[in-house]
Amino acid sequence: MEGKMKLITKRLILRNLNVKDAKDLVDNINDLEVSKYLAVVPHPYLIKDAKWYINKTIKDSKRKNREDYNFGVELKSEKKIIGCIGLHKIDKFNSTAEVGYWLGKKYWRRGIMT
């Protein structure tokens, strides 16, 4: 499962992030109501932070034995990233993983994550 992956639904595309997504990340995560639930997100969240995270996810996607998969959540109707979702601490032996996600506040209560 290395490299690029994409999952498409009626409203969303879950896909690898790219540097063009940096502004969308900043626009949506730079809100304390969003970031206060996340473990390691600086505030204010700047373009340099978004680029660092995107580059990290690109580098991680090329690893052979991955323990993390991170995807941008793209809203098809807006053609922009509105949040992120990922699988973390993947344990193939026990068939377990943690799911983490966040959405920009203006996309809450739309049934996107449910």
The first and second tokens of residue 103, run together, are 């959405």
Residue 112 lies in a domain: no
Residue 68 lies in a domain: yes
User: How many structural domains is the chain composed of?
Assistant: 1
Q: What ranges in 1-114 are assigned the alpha helix state H?
A: 22-29, 32-35, 47-61
pLDDT of residue 3: 59
Residue 83 lies in a domain: yes
Residue 114 lies in a domain: no
CATH number at residue 82: 3.40.630.30
Point out the residues of the chain with pLDDT beneath 70.
1-3
Instruction: Using the structure block, give the residue that is written with the tokens 């193939």.
Output: 92
Q: What is the domain range of residue 93?
A: 6-107
How much of the chain exceeds pLDDT 90, in percent? 71
What pTM value is reported for the model? 0.89
Residue 1 lies in a domain: no
